[in-house]
A and B are shown apart, each in its own frame.
Chain A
């Protein structure tokens, strides 16, 4: 890198007192798209959390049937224009049942976002534990864990989800189960990333210095490695959330997602796809919600990545007059 780059990066980097987190926010703030996305995500989370409140304002709930609002003779298509939109039902009603769509949409946000976030947490936990253990462990441990990761990666996700969801008793809360199953099956790539990062960090001098200080492996993993792993993991996790939302939708399509009457976007989409012609808004609402969510989360994820970009950090340290010597 030239001095030019050094110079570009230098002023902020040398601002006194700028901690890692503050730098992160500063870099994130410079990206307008990521900021907008962050606001959208925050709104969505807010809507999900405030679902009971919002539906109370509307005066509806997501489970009450309104047989009188649908045309029973025509397959249960909502009566009235635009899917039965009215002052009582802000976004119209669901075909066949007449349940309030607005209520189902905001309650669906709870499940879809909740499941996706929880699944991501599980994926990250398992991935980090396995990845760090493989990266730090002996050759044998590494071999075993890496092989196990390969096995998990090579297992078809949907199939294992189908099988696992069938095994667990139905009394187990379903959204938790769906999140657990997605998390338990799809942690392979995160483990691989963490392992690679661990191996990289393990070779860094500050880890060697910590060893020379006399610390044990566990302490080194906790104090020296985990913070360094956080950046790529957060980046990847931000992109896993939207993926998990669509996985939940797919599981619903296969009939093993969240159970009725609990609404989720995936389930709404599944029920709605055939209504595309007869009651378009029934499909467009959850599809639009899903699109906005995935888009916002993805843009936010990209923003987080840019803000955490280890290369941006590495550019800081390369000045002139430095001799790089290959380490054996």
Chain B
């Protein structure tokens, strides 16, 4: 999971681009309209695709990128053992082979995973890609100089917890074996049926050891994908990618690579990006954005314009905005108080504050409402559209707060429509009706992040959000509700401090499953069960809407990323 915040640009690039930003999904009808709009909707090769972004691609080192494929642009350069299926909607939430011939062969209890590389794989300089390069790529992601990746490798690989990377520790990681040039074997310290999902992350991209320049590698990462970096100005502010002639479509079923050239401009203001996409003048006609959604104001304008509306891609990314309680803080130790608040929430004003019904869907479940997560509908404390203050008052009375209650709601001051203080004020306004006086404590982003992720300073009642590292219930539920993941001396995400033996046991049991559909069903059931404890109040799932330039064809939006897949887009 990731905290999509402006905490760090590193993060912003990796996760925000996927998470906060995001657009379109297969189930959204608009992308189909987009294809129809251009007349000849068949995509052709050639042309230059312009990318207009807010955040520069400051990190272009596969070790430092967080999300699978490193988000959109890096996935054009880095191929990984497995990758996400580049299809619209639900089908796009599947994991498929990329460099490997299959999505991985587990042993019986899913603690050993073996992959075989396809034949004829080459870097941009024509040299061969070997399994040792993949091992090396993973090892260097452990170097403190190249921090930033997801924690799973460190948590899952045998003996990896204290490994410091190949620069300090020349012996390497024993948990990864490369018996020959095409075979790579991973030994895990516990069963992990979702390892194929992890293998989509950029740490699984090959890095040739003799080309490794440490922290400077990102200036020119060696490409294994259809494009190579020919220009990287000002630390990722302006990127130019051109075709990697040693890449062969025959080994890559996923990336279409229609344009000849990709020109990435960043550092732009979000309203300017949307304005430019809607104007579609000159090169902007062949432009997309990989990190900027339509805001409510822009949406209001776009929906009134047929031509523009046809160019909006809609996507759903596995993501939930919720209220978190810390049950060690009074009065939230009382489940009745937590339930009362759940009943009192006015989801329609929260949804409006988040941008309206087109940009946010009210949520009553913690898991996103997608099949791959095993979404099982439930609404334990039905608040209806506008809240049930009567029921809330009743519960408060039972909890001994008949005269009302004053609580403090902590939130970030970061200015983003989705996490904005406006949502906090919407909640404040709604709880007033139930006799709960809410004081707002708005913190600067860094301070907020420090406080809510520290067991010692965690507030009792605060706004939070969680997004999927991959479209499955595991990374969505485990960090938040697995009692063994409570971190006492560092960043803790189990904010409800739940350490429930049956929950822990069920998590372990599901992790053993290598049948992902079966696992999904059980994740859904577990979510419903945990929901009874009212440790969180799910608020809404964001919906991503993004504009594309008028010449863009073949808009593909998967449920995995929720946004347009740049590897599928064509400009001719």
Query: Which residues of A line the B interface, CB within 8 A?
Result: 63-65, 67, 70-77, 95-98, 165-166, 170-171, 255-256, 259-261, 270, 273-279
Contacts and interface: CB of A to CB of B under 8 A. Distances in A.
Nearest to B294: A75
Nearest to B441: A170
Contact of B421 (A75, A96, A260): A260
Given A67-B386, A96-B353, A97-B422, A76 B301 contact: no
B356 interface: yes
B446 interface: yes
Nearest to B439: A171
A67 B355 CA distance: 12
Contacts of A261: 421, 425, 428, 440
A171 B410 CA distance: 11
A259 B440 contact: yes
Contact of A76 (B271, B296, B413, B428): B296
Given A67-B348, A261-B440, A256 B413 contact: yes
Contacts of B428: 63, 261
Interface residues on B, range: 35 or more
14 contacts: A64-B429, A65-B429, A72-B356, A73-B358, A75-B298, A75-B359, A76-B355, A95-B300, A96-B353, A96-B356, A170-B443, A255-B415, A261-B425, A273-B271
Contacts of A274: 271, 295, 297-298
B422 A260 contact: yes
B387 to A, nearest CB: 11
A73 B429 CA distance: 21
Interface string B348-388: 11011101111100000000000000000000000000100
Contacts of B356: 70-76, 96
B271 A75 contact: no
Nearest to A253: B415
A278 B422 CA distance: 19
Contact of B352 (A63, A64, A96): A96
B363 to A, nearest CB: 15
A286 to B, nearest CB: 15
A97 B303 contact: no
Interface string B417-430: 00011101110111
A242 B271 CA distance: 27
Q: Count chain A CB atoms within 10 A of each CB in B346, B349, B415, B430 and give the residue with the most.
A: B349
B301 A277 contact: yes
B166 interface: no
B414 interface: yes
- The 5 closest A-B CB pairs, nearest first, are A75-B296, A75-B299, A278-B300, A77-B300, A75-B300
Contact of A96 (B271, B304, B422, B444): B422
Contacts of B352: 65, 67, 70, 72, 76, 96-98
A160 to B, nearest CB: 15
B487 to A, nearest CB: 24
Contact of A67 (B346, B359, B440, B447): B346
B61 to A, nearest CB: 29
Given A65-B429, A75-B359, A279-B300, A260 B349 contact: no
Contacts of A67: 346, 348-349, 352, 386
A104 B297 CA distance: 19
Contacts, number: 118
Nearest to A165: B444
Contacts of B422: 96-97, 260
A289 B340 CA distance: 42
Interface of B: 271, 295-301, 303-304, 346, 348-349, 351-353, 355-359, 386, 413-415, 420-422, 424-426, 428-430, 440-444, 446-447
Contacts of B296: 75-77, 95-96
Nearest to B420: A260
B268 to A, nearest CB: 14
A277 B301 CA distance: 7
A83 to B, nearest CB: 11
B425 A260 contact: yes
Given A96-B353, A260-B422, 20 more contacts: A63-B428, A65-B353, A65-B426, A72-B352, A74-B299, A75-B295, A75-B297, A75-B356, A96-B422, A165-B444, A166-B444, A170-B443, A256-B413, A259-B421, A260-B421, A260-B442, A274-B271, A275-B297, A275-B300, A277-B301
B186 to A, nearest CB: 42
A178 to B, nearest CB: 13
Contacts of B357: 72-73
Contacts of B358: 72-75
Contacts of B413: 255-256, 259
Nearest to B415: A255
Nearest to B426: A65
Contacts of B298: 75, 274, 278
A278 B346 contact: no
Nearest to A64: B429
B100 to A, nearest CB: 43
A297 to B, nearest CB: 28
B426 A278 contact: no
Nearest to B424: A260
B159 to A, nearest CB: 40
A77 B352 CA distance: 10
Given A75-B358, A76-B300, A65 B349 contact: yes
B433 to A, nearest CB: 10
A18 to B, nearest CB: 53
Nearest to A271: B422
A76 B423 CA distance: 14
Nearest to A166: B444
B355 to A, nearest CB: 6
Contacts of A166: 444, 446-447
A64 B428 CA distance: 9
B421 to A, nearest CB: 4
A71 B413 CA distance: 26
A81 to B, nearest CB: 14
A150 B414 CA distance: 33
B353 A259 contact: no
Contact of B414 (A75, A76, A165, A255): A255
Nearest to B444: A166
B294 to A, nearest CB: 8
A97 B421 CA distance: 12
Contacts of B444: 165-166, 256
B376 to A, nearest CB: 26
Nearest to B274: A274
Contacts of B414: 255
A98 B352 CA distance: 9
A25 to B, nearest CB: 45
B349 A75 contact: no
Q: Count chain A CB atoms within 10 A of each CB in B357, B413, B440 and give the residue with the most.
A: B413
A39 to B, nearest CB: 35
Nearest to B412: A255
B484 to A, nearest CB: 33
A97 B295 contact: no
Nearest to B278: A277
Given A77-B300, A96-B356, A72 B348 contact: yes
Nearest to B410: A170
B406 to A, nearest CB: 15
Q: Count chain B CB atoms within 10 A of each CB in A70, A75, A256, A276 and give the residue with the most.
A: A75
Contacts of A277: 297, 301
Contacts of B359: 75
Q: Count chain A CB atoms within 10 A of each CB in B353, B356, B429 and give the residue with the most.
A: B356
A72 B420 CA distance: 17
Nearest to B445: A255
A64 B358 CA distance: 22
A283 to B, nearest CB: 10
Contacts of A98: 352
A171 B304 CA distance: 43
Contacts of A71: 300, 356
Given A65-B349, A67-B348, A76-B300, A96 B355 contact: yes
A71 B349 CA distance: 11
